[in-house]
Chain A
Amino acid sequence: MKVDHSLPLEYGTEQNRLNILGFWIFLGAEIALFGTLFASYFTLVDRTGSGPTGAEIFEITPVLIETILLLTSSFTIGLGIHAMRLGKAKAMITFFAITLLLGLGFLGVEIYDFIVYIHEGATLQTSGFTAILFLTLGTHGAHVTFGLFWGAFIILQVIKRGLTPETANKAFIFSLYWHFLDVVWIFIFSFVFLKGMM
């Protein structure tokens, strides 16, 4: 494996550079995916049938907590990558672990929120609106869940194998993924929740 030391570790090999570009393209597809979900959401948002509207079920507190948790986690993973660039594996692992814990917290609150919705009579089956609401939030939530496992695997690998071009590359790509989920959440927060509560 040829490693180019003039570049950051995660860009060090040809395969690493390919991986990163490939992942950016994957994020392009993810944008199309969430774009479709948002478009469908706006189409169905007023089609509540006999079920509740967004304004009737949304609550600001849990959503704010979720937002803060996820934004913070985006910050900590940034710190983690910074530590990685400095070659500080320990610090990096710590920041990654904090990130995942914050993600876990986010997921917990989101699940709690879902339960509240269901208790208020907004189940998956209630209306076109609730279906797309759960699908949009759920797709994002499923991404976060997937990310928790993925991130944990990466932490394990860094612990076992140290910072190699390979592990650094994986960690960097994971950070891109995590930031992306944060951006999607900001859209959800603004256009689903804030707009829905206004």
Chain B
Amino acid sequence: MKIKWALLTLIFTIATVLTGCEPLLVLDPKGPQGRTTADVIMISIWTMAIVVVVVFALYIFIVRKYRASNQSEDYEPPHIEGSLKLEIVWTAIPVLIVAFLSVVTVVSTYKVEATPEGYNEEPLVIYASSSNWKWHFSYPEQNIETVNYLFIPTDRPIEFKLYSYGPISSFWIPQLGGQKYAMADMVNTLNLAADVPGEYSGRNANFTGEGFAQQTFNVKAMPQKEFDEWVKEINATAEPLTEDKFEELLKPGHLGQSTYTGTHLTFSPPPEGHHEKGDSGNEEVQPGSSKKEQDEEVDHSKMNH
């Protein structure tokens, strides 16, 4: 029986750690999207904790009470087919729980997929592209590009446009919100925002080969004014990003942080851009926007089953 108590203790330890003094990154959000997911996670943990406690309690009770050593020699366990009433109970209650969690999921999923609300300003668009094993951030509006680090203004929605110059990568800043894939043949949109100035860590979460472990980047969130100053300074001091330079940056390997004026978007536009402009003759031309692919995937489900 000791193991069950050990288990319970462990669960409580985990619960303490989750809520305790040194918060885990995912549960210590610094923006609206991260807060939504953290809330969802806590809701699900508590809901599931109830399930676990009920099952464990029943289990401990039954296993203790009906062990052979606790019973008389001539006890003959009865033959019981089952009970419709009980079956209904343990079908209906889980259905209710799943229904509850489904509602939470749908609402929160729509929420984190959309531009965060409550901000006056238009979203800042940043193109985040991965290459083995780096991240390139292009600010078309500000006309600058950084490698392996990201400056963002606080209190303003950020719209990341994600794509890859290599394998499927996943763009993830745990404290700001969930991750999303960056792929070579389409552009994904990830909506985030930071409310608190500070430094956060970001990384590629999806395995991309040898240099994957170090494919990280730093995020610095700062008030808009500071951000504008930073932009101004970069524009004044950084070198321009040439096509040759970008080719060099794309070569597999690790790089430190660097900054350029201009973006690679002008000479090496993201995959979706190609398609919309209908500009053909390029290897990267991909018909099939994200919307279309979804339909196909749903279609596909019908096909197979």
Contact (Cβ within 8 A) A39 B304: yes
* Contact of A43 with B296 at beta-carbon distance under 8 Å, contacts A49-B285, A50-B281 already known: yes
Q: Could you tell me if B304 and A46 are in contact, using CB atoms closer than 8 angstroms?
A: no
A179 contacts partner chain B, Cβ-Cβ < 8 Å? no
| 19 A–B contacts from the bound complex (CB under 8 Å) | A35-B303, A35-B304, A36-B304, A38-B303, A39-B299, A39-B300, A39-B303, A39-B304, A42-B299, A42-B300, A42-B303, A43-B296, A46-B287, A47-B287, A49-B285, A50-B280, A50-B281, A50-B283, A50-B285
How far, in angstroms, from A47 to B296 measured CA to CA in the complex?
13
Shortest Cβ gap from B296 to chain A (Å): 5
Consensus secondary structure, chain A interface: helix
Q: Mark B271-300, 1 if CB is under 8 A from A, else 0.
A: 000000000110101111000000010011
CB distance from A78 to the nearest CB of B (A): 29
For chain B, the count of residues having a C-beta within 8 Å of the partner chain is: 12
Confirm or deny: A68 has a beta carbon within 8 angstroms of a beta carbon on chain B: no
Give A3-35 as 1s and 0s: 1 = Cβ < 8 Å from B's Cβ atoms.
Answer: 000000000000000000000000000001001
Which 7 residue pairs across A and B have the least CB separation, nearest first? A39-B303, A39-B300, A43-B296, A46-B287, A35-B304, A39-B304, A35-B303
- Does A32 contact B281, Cβ atoms closer than 8 Å? no
Q: Closest residue to B284 on the A side, CB-wise?
A: A49
The chain A residues found within 8 Å of chain B, CB to CB, are: 32, 35-36, 38-39, 42-43, 46-50
Instruction: Give the CA-CA distance A42 to B299 in the complex, in Å.
Output: 9
Residue positions of B touching A, CB distance < 8 A = 280-281, 283, 285-288, 296, 299-300, 303-304
Contact across chains for A32 and B304 when beta carbons are under 8 A apart: yes
Residues of A within 8 A of B287 (CB): 46-48
Chain A residues with CB under 8 Å of B285's CB are 49-50
Known pairs A42-B296, A42-B299; A47 contacts B286 (CB<8 A):
yes
Residues on the B chain within 8 Å of A47, using CB: 286-288
Q: Which residue of chain B is the closest to A40 with respect to CB atoms?
A: B300
Residues on B with beta carbons closer than 8 Å to the beta carbon of A49: 285
Q: Are B281's CB and A43's CB within 8 A?
A: no
Closest Cβ neighbor of B296 among chain A residues: A43
Residue with the highest number of chain B CB atoms closer than 10 Å, among A38, A39, A42, A50: A39
Neighbouring B residues of A32 by C-beta, 8 Å: 304
Residues of chain B lying within 8 A (CB to CB) of residue A48: 287
Bound complex: CA of A50 vs CA of B303, how far in Å? Answer: 28
Least CB separation from A39: chain B residue:
B303
Query: Which A residues lie within 8 Å of B280 (CB)?
Result: 50
A-B contact sample (20 more), CB < 8 A, given A38-B303, A39-B299 = A32-B304, A36-B304, A39-B300, A39-B303, A39-B304, A42-B296, A42-B299, A42-B300, A42-B303, A43-B300, A46-B287, A46-B288, A47-B287, A47-B288, A48-B287, A49-B285, A50-B280, A50-B281, A50-B283, A50-B285
Give A46 to B285 CA distance when docked, in angstroms: 12
Q: How many angstroms between the C-alpha atoms of A49 and B296 in the bound complex?
A: 18
Q: Which residues of A contact B304 (CB under 8 A)?
A: 32, 35-36, 39
- Chain A residues with Cβ below 8 Å from B300 are 39, 42-43
In Å, the complex CA distance between A153 and B281 comes to 51
